[in-house]
Amino acid sequence: MKTIGVDIGNFSVKFVELESFGRSHQLTHYTEIPLNQDITRDRSIDVLDALKTFAERHQDEDNVQYVVSLHEDEVTHRLLHFPFKERHKILKILPFELEEDVPFDSYSSIFDAKIVSYSPNGAQVLATASPEERIEKILQSCSDAGFEPTIVSTDGMAYANLFENWEDLPPEKTSLFDFDELDDDEDDENVDPVARAPKVAHANILFGHTNTMVLIYADDQLIDIRSFPWGGRDLSMRISEVYQVTFLEALKELRKNSYLLLDNEGATGAQVQFSDNLKKEFDDFIHDLRLILLELQGEWNIELQSLGLSGGLSQIKNIAPYFTQKLELKCNRIQLQPHGISLTDQGFDIVNGGLALGLAIEGLKKPRNPATNLRQGEFAKQNRAAKEFVEKWGYSLKMAGLILAILLVHSFLRDSVSYSLDDDIYGKMRDTAGDVASLKGRQATESGIRRYIRNQKALLKKAEAEKGIDRVVSAMSIMEKLSETLPAPARGPRAASTAVNLDIRELDIQNETVSLRGTVDNSRQLQIIQESLKKLASNGQVKDLNLGRNRNVPVKDENGRTVMKPSFAFQIQVNRRIE
């Protein structure tokens, strides 16, 4: 069995051929057909010629399947959680879950899902959707070239195969990376603080000719894929404009001799100018990348710790340390080592051909961890043997279907009652949402109602907090009570026996804890102060912070002489709530 991954890029079309020998898989051939970079030419014609040229070499071969992909700007992804694990159930309900989230008409779109992890109570999936017209377009191009692809995947899902153990089942976790649950329970004090802590995450970048792709991983699973309309062409255009050379000459210079200077020491003026021009273009991209990474960190409650660089531009000298400086994030080139693939073709360029390899791996996947395939519904590949079987046994199949339909009538009637009840409940939910929460139209959904309840809880909590402020005794009131409670100072030889020469050096009021430090004339006065503080303490107890330490400290008397006086450090608990 031979699987061919076809990466239709804007700079070239790449083909990777994988052959399976039992459980081993070998890369047997790699082909790259460059495209004409003349901006006045129709690119689709060059792509069609490249596809035809390659397909003609394999037109007489059997057991060959092709895998192509849509670019990331033609699809959208969403991370979802389902309370069940069966993939057929997930695919059935997927269009309804994404109906309000996809940026195009969901009724004319194709949906698929990649299960990224399981847990005892459900599954986490990265859903993919694309308009039917995009799938129809790429299938038509392949048909014009003389071959029919078995799988239509996406660039991001295919490239992720190079970082995962694609032969095994999705990992089983004790709990899922459920962002919605964290969002719903953000105001709940009973939630484990560890669950709220940001998850460790990293990102992998694939630089392309016209687009750059970012894969986000958290908790060792793929959670998002983003695309930027930026690539090597933008750098070539800047070189062409600055140095007044043709675009092709600028492209050759970028591929053969490009670098980023980390400092200008020892460099010539021409080298500094060339590096600065590349830096200006990279800085614009890094600015957009930083904004996206900050958005993802806030949206998914993650903390990015590293960034991997791959693709043609990753070979530019000093690009990794330059990205590290700008993003303040550890950045390194990715050393791609795909799982389970023997790279026997010495001419294979994994830096530029990695995406084509990932597409070929999509064709090797088993049903337990299947490929992302948007060739579904009316675009599903027809099986010739099945078609001949239907033509031969069509009448018998119709009769069998009629009998089966009769047997299912009873169950259908029972199901119709349950569906009717479900519709009634859904209608009442929407009516109640409109009456109580004033939610209308698309807002009157389960997620909209949950959002309304969460907002109301936040408002109630805020109101309770504001009420509590008015019932708190101020720090000044505590100081006043403390002044009234402590004994009067000793004045003259006939001072009262309870009088105290008190010198408070430090007073600290934190919430309901009052701490005071200072000196007195003798140890008897220490006992008087301690007994006075017991009257003010809410629990009638005074904590001696100097217990077990030297109580005598040097102080200056009225004449400026240094004398030793007993020191104290007491702490009490007071009631600051107004009853």
Model confidence pLDDT, tens digit, residues 279-306: 999 999 999 999 999 999 988 899 999 9
**CA 399, 404, 409: angle at the middle one, nearest 5?**
130
Residue among 305, 304, 97, 300 at smallest CA distance from 182: 300
Per-residue 3-state assignment (H helix, E strand, C coil) for 100-122: CCCCCCHHHEEEEEEEEEEECCE
CATH 3.30.1360, the chain: domain bounds: 475-573
What class does CATH assign to 198-333?
A: alpha beta
Q: Which of 365, 311, 371 is nearest to 336 (CA)?
A: 311
Pick the range with the lowest mean pLDDT from 250-254, 397-401, 556-560: 556-560
Residues facing 69 on adjacent strands: 153
Q: Is the pLDDT of residue 514 over 80?
A: yes
Neighbours of 115 (CB within 10 A): 20
Q: What percent of the chain has pLDDT over 70?
A: 91
Least confident of 67-71, 218-222, 335-339, 485-489: 485-489
pLDDT category at 493 given cuts 50, 70, 90 is low
What band does 142 get if pLDDT is binned at 50, 70 and 90?
A: very high
Phi first, then psi: what are they for 10, rounded to 5°? -95, -15
- pLDDT (tens digit per residue) in 70-90: 999 999 999 999 999 999 999
Nearest to 217 by CA among 152, 128, 153, 126: 126
CA atoms within 13 A on the CB side of 571: 11
Looking at the domain that runs over 1-177+339-381, which CATH code has it been given?
Answer: 3.30.420.380
* Segment 32-57 mean pLDDT: 89
Q: Report, as an integer, the average pLDDT of 480-506.
A: 73
* CA 272/CA 478 separation, integer angstroms: 67
**Cα distance between residue 186 and residue 144, in whole Å:** 54
Global pTM reads: 0.65
Which one-letter amino acid corresponds to residue 131?
A: P
- Specify the domain boundaries for CATH 3.30.420.40 within the chain: 198-333
Find residue 11's DSSP bridge partners.
Answer: none
CB 69 within 8 A of CB 158: yes
User: Which pLDDT value is given to residue 237?
Assistant: 94
- pLDDT by residue (tens digit) across 201-240? 999 999 999 999 999 999 889 999 999 999 999 999 999 9
Q: What is the pLDDT of residue 180?
A: 52
Architecture of domain 475-573: 2-Layer Sandwich (3.30)
- Residue 432: predicted pLDDT: 77
Q: Give the pLDDT score at 315.
A: 93
β-partners of residue 302 are 199
Reference 99, options 82, 78, 123, 74; nearest CA is 78
Per residue in 515-544, pLDDT (tens digit) is 988 888 887 888 888 888 888 888 888 888
- Return contacts of 313-320, CB within 8 angstroms, 24+ apart: 313/207, 313/231, 313/232, 313/235, 314/205, 314/207, 314/351, 315/351, 316/258, 316/259, 316/260, 316/278, 317/258, 317/259, 317/260, 318/259, 318/260, 318/261, 318/262, 319/260, 319/282
Distance of CA 519 to the CA centre of its chain: 59
CA separation (Å) from 207 to 3, 88, 211, 248, 514? 25, 35, 7, 19, 61
Q: Averaged over 410-418, what is the pLDDT?
A: 83
Q: How confident is the model at residue 132 (pLDDT cuts 50, 70, 90)?
A: very high
Quick one: pLDDT at residue 283? 96
φ, ψ of residue 499 to 5 degrees: the values are: -70, 150
Query: Checking DSSP bridges between strand 503-510 and strand 341-343, what pairing results, if any?
Result: unpaired
Q: Where in the chain is the domain with CATH 3.30.420.380?
A: 1-177+339-381
